[in-house]
Every structure is written in structure tokens, then in C-alpha cells.
Amino acid sequence: MSAKIEAYLDRHSSHLAELLADLIRIPTVNPPGRNYLPFVRAMQPRLRALGMKTDIVRVPDSYARRFVANADAYPRASLIGRLDVGAARTLHFNCHYDVVPAGGTWRYGPFESKEQGGWLYGRGSSDMKGAIAAVCLAVRALRALNIRPRMNIEVSLTPDEETGGDLGAGYIVRQGYVTADYAIVCEGGSGCQVGCGHNGVIWLEAAVEGKAAHASCPQDGVNAFEKMAALVMQLQALKTVFGRRAFRAPNGKKMHPTLNIGGVFAVGEGAKVNTVPASATFTMDRRVTPGEKLREAERELRSAVRAAGRSIPKLRVSLSRLLAIDPCHVDPDGEFPRDFAAAVRAVQGGRVGFSVSSGFTDMHFFAKDGGIPTIGYGPGGRNAHAIDEAVRVKDLVACAKVYAGFMAFPSTRDY
């Protein structure tokens, strides 16, 4: 990559860390969706300072209520910035700005943003506000050095990825706000790995219905908790089945379907120590590899619950779908992924591979719904969704170098 770009980004690493610290201090917690409008309003002048024309896309409350009941209290909004350099093609950078709740005891406050030992701590530092800072610094470097990007640049900062993305990236793609020819979703790959896909997911909630009774006469009731426990034990057999299935990612990694039970579980109203519980609920998180079909995976899971109902006496259970996202996989041999891999190699050195994320990202909205050649790449980090989430400042700078190098990289391809 250009020595001038590299030197500029190294000199301005403190600016990158300062921007990320400011973003972390706005707690855009989802659920329920706090501080979305304050965040995009804070970022709008920052994108304008990079020469971009900006639009805040507010999702109408009437539309948002299809997905979240509290849309009136927690409005959904995206920020889109566009830098037109007169190029024939446009490159889109997408970053989600919502973060998961921050429970537990942190070394530093989750929204204080502290730097220690080269790591910057705070909720969203890794997932994924660090990428926002990297994109901004990369564009700033090109402008400061009077380097014309080979493509027009489009940036979207979107909400709700942590709960499916329909009101964030999904909304702006489906409503035609994205006008790009290529897209980088700024997570799903890092270091020497470029993301070329992600798992799909099915979230189901199981509601088990029993019959209340006095605990001194449990035979007069039907214990919903015990029925739930029996059902959960029977579902464990699926994990053995999943272990025999494998999808091999382009980098050679074997990926298996997974099932996590009880991410959320609860007893119904009227719970008391000396009462036979009349209802209980629990969730199921089924990860769907790119080698599977979403509908077939959900059908299999529902079938397993029905089979358990036939073998567990007095089991009454109903299932509700909370979320369903298709798996995504793009061809890593395309011109766009190969060119981006070259930009990664110029910064990171070594052999660059193509990976598939075990989690889900917003890539599928761009690649599948939008039909846009898309890859995933960001700065990475540690403890995403966990206590003491952090990102290394030098990894942020390296990511900014990849973005800037790719935007400035001369190519004979038809970009």
C-alpha cells in the first residue's frame, strides 16, 4: 500500500481512538434501541466533515411496529453518507451501531471507554463501533493526502443488527437507499481472514403449559417446569445429529449446525415455592450453516418437539418463531473478493483466507436481497457481547489501512 497513507494513519491513530471513545459513550443499547437518533445526529457532522452528503433515514413508526412493539418510544434511524468523486462505480461500507446490553462487573464502566495497554475497552468497541472509526479515518486519510478514491464512497450506519437488522440494513437496502455496486460489511472477517458468508439462525420460543396445584398435592397438577426439563433433555439428541453434519468454509474450517437451549427461560405468573408451576418458557437458538436450508432446519426442530410431545405424558407445548435469518455465502473467487484480499495482504502480510462467520451479520441483506457483491471485514477484537469488550488500537489502524488501501488501490478491473 502507499507509504504516504500508511504513515498518515500511523500518525493519526490517536484521532481514531478518540472518535471510537466518543461513540462508545453514546449507549445505543439494543434491546430496546436506546439513543439511536442522538447517535446518528452526532455522526452526521463527522461524515459531512469528510466531504460527504448525508441523509438520516428514519423508519416510519407504523412500519417499525411490525418488528418492535416499542417503536414509538425508541425510533429507528440510519445515517447514510455519500462521497461522489465522479467514478463509474460505488463502494458501500456498512457498520451497525447498536450494541447488546452490558451486564456484569466490568474492569471499567462499559460506556466509559478507557484505553489500557494498547486496548480500548467499552461496549461496542469490537462489535462494531471500532469499524465506524476505522472507515472514517480511512476516508479522512485519502482526503488529507489528496488521493482520489477509485470508486465513489457510500457509508451507512445502521441500527438493529443485534436483533435481526430488518429496521437497519434491511430497511435501507429494501427501500432502495443503497446505490452501490460493491459492499463491505465491516465485520465477519479480520486480520488475514476476509468474510465471505455467515451462518443463518432460527430463534424459537417454547411455551409449556401445565396445571397449577398446591405443592403439598403435586399429583393434582401438571408441573410445567418438569415437562420443560423433559423436553429439553430429549432435544439434546439433535446435537449428536448436528455433529455429523459439516460445512467446510473456503479456509478449510469445518462448521457444524448448533443448538443452544435456554438463552432465555422463565416461569409464568403465579410462581411461588409452594405452587406447582402452571407454565414455563424457554428459547432455542439454532444456527444454520450455508450448507443447509433455513426452512428445512426449522421443520426439523419443530418435528423434534412434536416427537417429544408424543413420548412425554401430558406435555403441552407451543412454539413461536422470534427470528429467522438465511445463511449467506458468496463466491470468494470473484474479482471483488480477490481484489480486497490483495489489499488485506498488502497490510497484514502472509496468506489471506476466506472465512464464514459462525454468527450472523448484515451481509445477507446486501448480498442476497440487494444482489450486491459483498464481503465482510473489520478490526476484530475480544469479548464481543461479553464483559470487558475491547479492541486493540493497532488493529483499528491496520483495518483503516486496509480500507484506505483498497479505496486507493489502482486496478485494471472495471470499477
CB 255 within 8 A of CB 358: yes
d(CA 203, CA 61): 24
- Kindly report, residue by residue over 204-246, the tens digit of the pLDDT: 999 999 999 999 999 999 999 999 999 999 999 999 999 999 9
- Which cell numbers in the block locate residue 243? 455433529
Q: Give me the pLDDT at residue 192, please.
A: 97
User: Measured between alpha carbons, how far is 132 from 121 in angstroms, rounded to an integer?
Assistant: 16
For residues 323, 189, 23, 135, the Cα torsion angle rounded to the nearest 10 degrees is: -120
Is pLDDT of 413 > 60? Answer: no
Question: Looking up cell 398435592, which residue turns up?
Answer: 217
Say whether pLDDT at 405 is over 90. Answer: yes
With cut-offs at 50, 70 and 90, classify the pLDDT of residue 410: low
Is pLDDT above 80 for 151? yes
d(CA 19, CA 401): 16
Query: What's the rounded Cα separation, in Å, for the pair 2 and 403?
Result: 12
pLDDT digits (tens, 9 = 90+) for 6-19: 999 999 999 999 99
* pLDDT tens, position by position, 300-318: 999 999 999 999 999 999 9
Confidence (pLDDT) at 2: 86
pLDDT band of 270, cuts 50, 70, 90: confident
CA distance 415 to 410: 10
Q: What percent of the chain has a predicted confidence (pLDDT) above 70?
A: 98
Is the pLDDT reported for residue 134 higher than 70?
yes
* Mean confidence (pLDDT) of the chain: 96
Model's pTM, two decimal places?
0.94
Asked if 171 contacts 365 with a C-beta cutoff of 8 angstroms, the reply is no
Strand order in the sheet with 200-209: 258-267, 279-288, 200-209, 317-325
Instruction: Reply yes or no on domain 3-198+327-408 having CATH 3.40.630.10.
Output: yes
pLDDT given for residue 400 in this prediction: 98
pLDDT of 257 > 90? The answer is yes
The pLDDT of residue 166 is 97
pLDDT (mean) for 386-401: 98
194 close to 113: Cβ distance less than 8 angstroms: no
Domain boundaries, the chain: 3-198+327-408, 200-325
List Cα–Cα distances, 187 to 16, 127, 130, 361, 384, in angstroms.
Answer: 17, 8, 10, 7, 12
Q: What is the pLDDT of residues 44-56, one digit of tens each?
A: 999 999 999 999 9
The residue type at 98: D
Q: Is the pLDDT of residue 391 over 70?
A: yes
pLDDT at 412: 43
Q: How confident is the model at residue 332 (pLDDT cuts 50, 70, 90)?
A: very high
DSSP states along 95-148 = EE--B----S--SS-TTT-EEETTEEESTTIIIIIHHHHHHHHHHHHHHHTTPP
* Answer CATH for 200-325 from 3.30.70.2740, 3.30.70.360, 3.40.50.10790, 3.40.50.620: 3.30.70.360
Closest CA to 328 of 160, 183, 195: 195
Evaluated on CA atoms 176, 44, 85, 348, the torsion sign reads negative
Residue for grid cell 497513507: 5
Q: What is the pLDDT of residue 367?
A: 97
Q: Cis omega before residue 52 (within 30°)?
A: no
Give pLDDT, residue 323: 95
Q: Which of 366, 365, 375 is nearest to 343 (CA)?
A: 375
Phi-psi category of residue 135: left, alpha or beta, with phi > 0 → left and psi -120 to 50 → alpha: alpha
Query: Is the pLDDT reported for residue 198 higher than 90?
Result: yes
As a whole number, mean pLDDT of residues 168-179 equals: 98
- Say yes or no to pLDDT of 186 above 80: yes
Residue 233 half-sphere exposure toward CB, CA atoms < 13 A: 8
Q: Rounded distance, CA 123 to CA 27, Å?
A: 8
**Which stretches within 236-311 are classed as H helix?**
237-243, 294-311
Per-residue pLDDT for 409 more than 90?
no
Q: Residue 336: name the closest of 392, 304, 374 by CA.
A: 374
CA 65 from centroid of its chain's CA atoms = 21
**pLDDT at residue 414 tops 60:** no
Which candidate, 266, 250, 213, places its Cα nearest to that of 341? 250
Per-residue pLDDT tens for 29-79?
Answer: 999 999 999 999 999 999 999 999 999 999 999 999 999 989 999 999 999
What is the pLDDT confidence band of residue 415, given thresholds at 50, 70 and 90? Answer: very low
394 Cβ contact list (under 8 Å, min separation 6): 13, 118
